[in-house]
Amino acid sequence: MSRTSHRVPVEGGFLHALSSGHGDETIVLLHGWPQTSREWDRVSALLDGDYRLIAPDLRGCGDSFKPMTGYDALTQADDILALIQHFGVGRVHLVGHDLGGPVAYAFAAKYRDRCKSLTLIEAPLWGIVSDEVPDLATLFWHLKFHQDVDMATKMIGSDIPAYLNHFYRDFAFNPNAITPNEAADYIRAYSGVGALRASLMQYHAIPEIGEQLKELSAQKLTVPVASYGGAMVMADYSGNAAKLVAEKVDAGIVENCGHWVPEERPEFVADLIRKTVSRAGSHAVTE
């Protein structure tokens, strides 16, 4: 797979992005924590023969800029708009894993004329709560801890490799899904000056993002949406949350899988993206 690295201007700085593939449809892939755009390598290798793929590092992560502010979902949706404008693309299919999910949803809801479909994988929709959908921020110990950015940075910074490897192994069904080389690349990305603290600002913004997503959800998405959770982590939370914000949701659970679905089940993710893109084509014909 041939990839090209880009430095894309956005308000206040730049995003690093990887592009590959070719085709009439463009798919934007948004990573989670503690990862970078390279989490999509296996999925991209299965898709780049048929689609144009763009995978940015979110602000504060990887090789993108690391500002003090702007980690709310709406500002990051603006980052994605600048990204696709840079590539000269009108409408895109959005895919979000983990913390990339709220950004992908915010883009789909804010820029409805720019989004053809939305695929969410193990994605928390902060602030979207019902009798069937718990407040996810209360279910995992690290979410509140990471919001205390300065304390978390100090404590995690004493041994970043040990801390991050805990997530790569213990949040996986297959503890070897993220290879030592992949883990080393992520650890490098999160060990630079200011890198860990900047990435944790994604968590610091959770209360603000929750309010934003609640407001956006007042008008449900009408584009095709797919939302799946790994059986041992989010399970049916992902699909149930998506049904509160969208009308046409393909929801389910990825069996024998943990949090790292793009690495643990890349074929499943690639097939799901293909299916959702295809649904968007049918949607455009009938609407």
Q: Which two tokens stand for residue 142?
A: 């690290």
Ramachandran quadrant class, 60 (left: phi over 0; alpha: psi -120 to 50; beta: rest) = left
Can you tell me whether residue 62 is helix, strand or coil? coil
- In the residue annotation, 228 being an active-site residue is answered as no
145 closest CA partner among 165, 163, 161 = 163
Cis-peptide, bond into residue 102, ω within 30° of zero? no
Do the beta carbons of residue 11 and residue 78 sit within 8 Å? yes
Active site residue 236: no
Instruction: Point out which residues pair with 253 in neighbouring strands.
Output: 229
> DSSP character for 123?
-
Cβ neighbours of residue 232 under 8 Å, at least 6 residues apart? Answer: 173, 257, 258
C-beta of residue 279 within 8 angstroms of C-beta of residue 224: yes
Q: Which of 72, 78, 79, 98 is catalytic?
A: 98
Residues 161 and 164: their CA atoms lie apart, in Å, by: 5
Residue 98 annotated among the catalytic residues of the structure: yes
CA distance 201 to 181: 26
Per the residue annotation, which of 163, 203, 228, 237 is the catalytic one? Answer: 203
Please, what is the Cα angle at 97 between 113 and 156, to 5 degrees?
Answer: 130
Q: Which residues are catalytic?
A: 98, 203, 259
